[in-house]
Structure 1
């Protein structure tokens, strides 16, 4: 809605406005684009107009959606999901992501999963076994090992903290 409002202010007519993507009816002038970019930046958005950057954002959006908005419960092949959703060979996606982001898709995926685990630990509604199952881990031991590798502490230690150190999704 915020993006639609800014498009209306800039007298730009979109064909569609979806999560992470806008299709405009007409090509904007450089001054329109500059003004829209300023307005969107003030709202925490940015315009991504090169194909590679768009692909990186689509990869991140797919992973965030998968980790934070769906229950994984069964282990899945991330490579197959991304290839299917983005209609590109996984090796292309992986090489592009690594070159631009300086980390692998797998590490980004793990970081997202650990942030979700932190969130579930803070909510204190599920025990560690239920969290491991929900997040698609084969065992509590594997989840705990990966959690400690990423955060430097066990899930129990994290749960015992008074201040929970979670990162914004955009900062991962």
Structure 2
């Protein structure tokens, strides 16, 4: 049985979900971002127990198909932006359609309805959060960051960064207070 879980955005999330399921006596076949596969079927009471166990950690079981699709879109974008080893030289609509096996127009409509924002806006927010991470670590130049995140130029990255954060990348880097968000807050 597949369970779809909201707010699973990192490897630590996977470890927490797996540990909580095991505490309840469930042995997951697999635990991936946003989805857990359990052997066989589970009762409504078991779903409630799982939901109650995961809730304190900020996770939520998803029952509605549209909400599941929106979460799968978010998970695919988080994987692409934060965990891909290659620069983001990819057409987002083609990537999402391939990942979720649905037409992009349908994905876009569902995402906007559920999340109250466009896929593109969410994608940009994730890219800016990744840029913040890269700036914080200080290992790459702004040109290298722009390249890694598939911006056409440093100016394009800087403009979008300022639009989202209110600061230029240089001003952000100079600030002593970290203004990064966790992935599930974006």
TM-score over 0.5 (shorter chain): yes
1:29 and 2:43 aligned? yes
Unpaired runs of at least 5, structure 1: none
1:166 and 2:180 aligned? yes
Q: Deviations over 1:84-142 (max 9, x none)?
A: 11100000000000011110000000000000001111101111111111111111011
Matches within 5 A, 1:56-135: 56-73=70-87, 75-135=89-149
Q: Deviations over 1:21-53 (max 9, x none)?
A: 123333322222211111111233221122211
Please report the RMSD computed on the Cα atoms of aligned residues, expressed in angstroms. Answer: 1.7
Unpaired runs of at least 5, structure 2: 1-14
Matched residues in 1 for 2:97 and 2:31: separation?
24
- Partner SS state of residue 179, structure 2: coil
Shift of 1:13: 5.0
Structure 2 residue corresponding to 1:2, chosen from 16, 19, 36: 16
Give 4+ residue runs of structure 1 displaced > 4 Å after superposition.
none
1:14, 1:24 within 8 Å by CA — same for their partners in 2? yes
- Partner SS state of residue 167, structure 2: coil
1:155 and 2:155 aligned? no
Number of corresponding residues: 172
Matched residues in 1 for 2:19 and 2:169: separation?
42
- Partner SS state of residue 152, structure 2: coil
Report which of the two structures shows the higher radius of gyration computed on alpha carbons: 1
Residue of structure 2 equivalent to 1:54: 68
Identify which of structures 1 and 2 has the higher relative contact order when contacts are C-alpha pairs closer than 8 Å and 6+ apart.
2
Matched residues in 2 for 1:91 and 1:132: separation?
28
**Under a length normalisation based on structure 1, what TM-score does the superposition of the two structures give?**
0.91
Matched residues in 2 for 1:147 and 1:93: separation?
26
